[in-house]
Homo-oligomer: A and B are copies of this chain.
Amino acid sequence: MREVAIVAAGMTRFGEIWESSLRDLFAEAALEALDAARVDRVDSIYVGCMSAGQFVGQEHLGPLMADEIGLTGVAATHVESACASGGVALRSAFIEVASGMSDLVLAAGVEKMTDGADVTAVLATAADQEKEAYHGITFPGLYAMIARAHMQAKGTTEEDLAWVAVKNHRHGALNPKAQFGRELKLEDVLGSSMVADPLRLLHCSPVTDGAAAVLLCPLELAKKYTDRPVKIRASALATGSMALADRKDPAVLDAVQLSGERAYKMAGVSPADIQVAEVHDCFTIAEICCIEALGLAPPCSGRHAARSGLTALGGKIPVNTSGGLKSKGHPVGATGIAQAIEIFEQLRGEAGARQVKGARLGLAQNMGGSGASSVVHIFEGV
């Protein structure tokens, strides 16, 4: 396999973007990435998107998006893995470059969520339809059950959960592209409306429009496009049981753990080597489960990480310096690529007020549904 690098990135702001359609969002992010690398052609495009079919009545995103950015003719493929669609698009692009099939591949993610569909019902199609969604449960309910199981098994409290939101909003306030650019106090979170006990409104990531794109090429060609390429040391995807009820322990995200193990092995590194990470905090409890599953916090101590400062900017292993899904926003198909962009910028020393000093090795973890799919990428500044 050839070594692969990211050489450029582009991203819209995240939020309620009423003036841009699905294709507008994609084009803005994609063209920014192509411009940054000063190229007007790629060999192949991957579009990560959960469900433009249900959200805006548009399938067949590969040719649509290639056409939209003036690249009619190139290979273009839509990949979906619910909220991990962006991460899976990045993995597919990585494999295509690594294989030697293509040299320049664009990996992008996009979602237009604010245009009228019943968002909660559409998102619920990422759960097991027959065993879960049909019976009425949606994602806040599923993650509330994960939170309750975590509380019971590991003593996690409502305050522990709230600290994740406080930390990520503090980070997001430093990110000009974040949907919510303001800090939260602990009492704001604890006093917000209950959505699905114990998860309150401010434990949940928002509904967001947005797109993000990165350009990949073989590492040996990377200097043609940028002075500061970022190498992809590992790309790993794993699955777990779709239905929560089928899992041995709902407080443990098996797919996240497995994708992490595979990625660490592929990169030849251990969790202690990671200096900055983006993990999938669709709900506050998810960040706690993910840092435990990835070995970024010791098992059973994930709940202390935000409050203690371990995962805050300035801490030992800053997590979700972008603000995470919680503050930056969560346009589901774009999230995995946006995470990669945060690490890309961190490893290039371009993260501004959010910069983790001297970061050379970073990780991004993106998951789908209640954790049935998880993708981990490990990156290195070169």
Question: Does A21 touch B at the CB level, under 8 Å?
Answer: yes
Contact of A372 among B51, B53, B64, B242 (CB under 8 A): B64
Contact B73 A59 (CB under 8 A): no
Question: Does A323 touch B at the CB level, under 8 Å?
Answer: no
Contact of A239 among B74, B238, B241, B258 (CB under 8 A): B74
Q: In the complex, what distance in Å separates the CA atom of A239 from the CA atom of B69?
A: 13
Instruction: Give the residues in chain B near A92, CB-CB below 8 Å.
Output: 77, 92
Instruction: Give the residues in chain B near A44, CB-CB below 8 Å.
Output: 237
Contact of A53 among B53, B72, B254 (CB under 8 A): B53
Contact B76 A78 (CB under 8 A): no
Contact of A21 among B54, B56, B130, B246 (CB under 8 A): B130
Given contacts A53-B54, A78-B79, A78-B81, contact A368 B60 (CB under 8 A): yes
Contact A242 B64 (CB under 8 A): yes
Q: In the complex, what distance in Å separates the CA atom of A108 from the CA atom of B240?
A: 19
Question: Does A61 touch B at the CB level, under 8 Å?
Answer: yes
Residue interface bits A351-382, CB-to-B below 8 A is 1, else 0: 00000000000000000110011000000000
Contact B242 A75 (CB under 8 A): no
Q: Which of A94-102, A151-159, A200-208, A290-298 forms contacts with chain B?
A: A94-102
Contact A239 B82 (CB under 8 A): no
Contact B60 A81 (CB under 8 A): yes
Contact A79 B81 (CB under 8 A): no
- Whole-angstrom distance between the Cβ of A311 and the nearest chain B Cβ: 27
Question: Does A147 touch B at the CB level, under 8 Å?
Answer: no
Question: Does A183 touch B at the CB level, under 8 Å?
Answer: no
What is the size category of the interface that chain A forms with chain B?
35 or more
- Whole-angstrom distance between the Cβ of A122 and the nearest chain B Cβ: 8
Q: In the complex, what distance in Å separates the CA atom of A101 from the CA atom of B237?
A: 12
Instruction: Give the residues in chain B near A58, CB-CB below 8 Å.
Output: 125, 129
Q: In the complex, what distance in Å separates the CA atom of A372 from the CA atom of B78?
A: 13
Contact B64 A238 (CB under 8 A): no
**Residue of B at shortest CB range from A81?**
B62
In the assembled complex, 30 residue pairs joining A and B whose CB atoms fall closer than 8 Å, in A order, are A1-B101, A44-B237, A50-B59, A51-B59, A53-B53, A57-B129, A57-B133, A58-B125, A59-B80, A60-B80, A60-B81, A60-B127, A60-B373, A61-B80, A62-B80, A62-B81, A62-B239, A62-B373, A63-B239, A63-B255, A63-B373, A66-B239, A67-B241, A67-B242, A67-B246, A67-B372, A75-B237, A76-B373, A78-B79, A79-B80
Q: In the complex, what distance in Å separates the CA atom of A369 from the CA atom of B67?
A: 14
Q: In the complex, what distance in Å separates the CA atom of A145 from the CA atom of B59?
A: 21
Q: In the complex, what distance in Å separates the CA atom of A242 from the CA atom of B47?
A: 15
Q: In the complex, what distance in Å separates the CA atom of A1 from the CA atom of B95?
A: 11
Question: Does A128 touch B at the CB level, under 8 Å?
Answer: yes
Instruction: Give the residues in chain B near A373, CB-CB below 8 Å.
Output: 60, 62-63, 76
Instruction: Give the residues in chain B near A100, CB-CB below 8 Å.
Output: 1, 98-99
Contact of A82 among B50, B56, B57, B60 (CB under 8 A): B60
